[in-house]
Amino acid sequence: MKLLALETSTEACSCALYVDGTISQRAEFAPRKHAELILPMAEQLLAEAQLLPAQLDGVTFGQGPGSFTGVRIACSVAQGIAFAANVPVAPVSSLAALAQHLYQTQGHEKICVAFDARMKEVYWGIYQLNQQGLMQLQGEECVCAAHQVPLPDEKNSWVGVGSGWAAYSEALSDRLAGYVQHYDSEIYLHATALIPFALAMFAQQQVYPAETVTPVYIRNKII
């Protein structure tokens, strides 16, 4: 299985390549430089693995929520590559991917993800590890004011992550008092975290033709 992963929904730009159990990656904190960086990253990873795009078996991308322009870049690049390589696409929630990243790097299993959505709101998702080792959404992802985010079902032992925890630390801390013990707003989203989800989706054939995948903006009130 050869899988290319693209994630550009936050200020970090990253690309990862999975080749039969081995993952290589490129990542850079680079606001507004995603268009410049993403294909050179992909080219380097494929070249190091001595692969051509046509040899990929699939593409996965972080479909948001996040920066509108960012999620469109990942989606459009994923569409272009997958269409050209004639392979399916596995779109993965960017909120879920950050939760997965935190699990993979720090072992946390119950996570409240908040991306700064500007306009005094956050993109919000509550995740818990399932038996397959994947972060599973509890309830629904949403965009809402920090002091109104939906709460987890049970108290204690949750960890907060994402830029929303820096932008609205007070409002979120108040709202999640008794639920979230600590948070980390400095961890950046990584394309490697898309891969476990994508592998599961390919295994279950829950993948899509390139022309049918779209970003998930959540915020649809834009005028």
Partner 1 sequence: MTKIKFCDVVTMTMRILGIETSCDETAVAIYDETQGLLAHTLYSQIALHAKYGGVVPELASRDHVRKLLPLIKEVLHAANTQPHEITGVAYTAGPGLVGALLVGAATGRSLAWAWRVPAIGVHHMEGHLLAPMLENPAPTFPFLALLVSGGHTQLIEVQAIGRYRLLGESIDDAAGEAFDKVAKLLGLGYPGGPAIARVAQQGKSGRFTFSRPMTQRPGLDLSFSGLKTQVLTTWQAQTIQDEQTRADIALAFEEAVIDTLLIKAQRALQQTGLKTLVIAGGVGANQWLRTRLQQLANELNIQVFYPRPIFCTDNGAMIAYTGYVRLKAGFQEPLSFNVQPRWSMESLN
Min dist. Cβ of residue 10 to partner 1 (A): 17
* Residue 35 is a binding residue for partner 1 (CB under 8 A): yes
Q: Give, in order, the Cα–Cα distances in Å from 166 to each of 47, 59, 69, 185, 187.
A: 38, 32, 22, 5, 11
* Residue 85 is a binding residue for partner 1 (CB under 8 A): yes
Please, what's the b/e burial string for 127-159 (b: 16 or more CB within 10 A of its CB; e: otherwise)? bbbeeeebbeebeebbbbebeebbebeeeeebb
Q: How many residues bind partner 1 (CB under 8 A)?
A: 34
* Residue 36 is a binding residue for partner 1 (CB under 8 A): yes
Q: Give, in order, the Cα–Cα distances in Å from 34 to each of 72, 137, 145.
A: 11, 27, 28
- Gap between the Cα atoms of 189 and 176, Å rounded: 22
Residue from the set 29, 31, 40, 154 that interacts with partner 1 by CB under 8 A = 40
* Residue 76 is a binding residue for partner 1 (CB under 8 A): yes
**Of the ranges 50-58, 142-150, 170-178, 194-202, which one interacts with partner 1 (CB under 8 A)?**
50-58
Q: What are phi and psi of 88, to 5 degrees?
A: -80, 170
- Gap between the Cα atoms of 98 and 130, Å rounded: 15
* Residue 140 is a binding residue for partner 1 (CB under 8 A): no
**Of the ranges 19-27, 52-60, 91-99, 144-152, which one interacts with partner 1 (CB under 8 A)?**
52-60
**Beta strand 2-7 with 110-116: parallel, antiparallel or unpaired?**
unpaired
Q: Give, in order, the Cα–Cα distances in Å from 158 to each of 99, 105, 135, 184.
A: 11, 16, 13, 12
> 188 vs 217, which CB is nearer to partner 1?
217
> 112 vs 143, which CB is nearer to partner 1?
143
Residue from the set 97, 210, 216, 218 that interacts with partner 1 by CB under 8 A = 210
**Of the ranges 83-91, 94-102, 162-170, 191-199, which one interacts with partner 1 (CB under 8 A)?**
83-91
Query: Which residues make up the interface to partner 1 (CB under 8 A)?
Result: 35-37, 39-40, 42-43, 50, 52-55, 68-69, 72-73, 75-81, 83-86, 210-211, 214-215, 217, 222-223
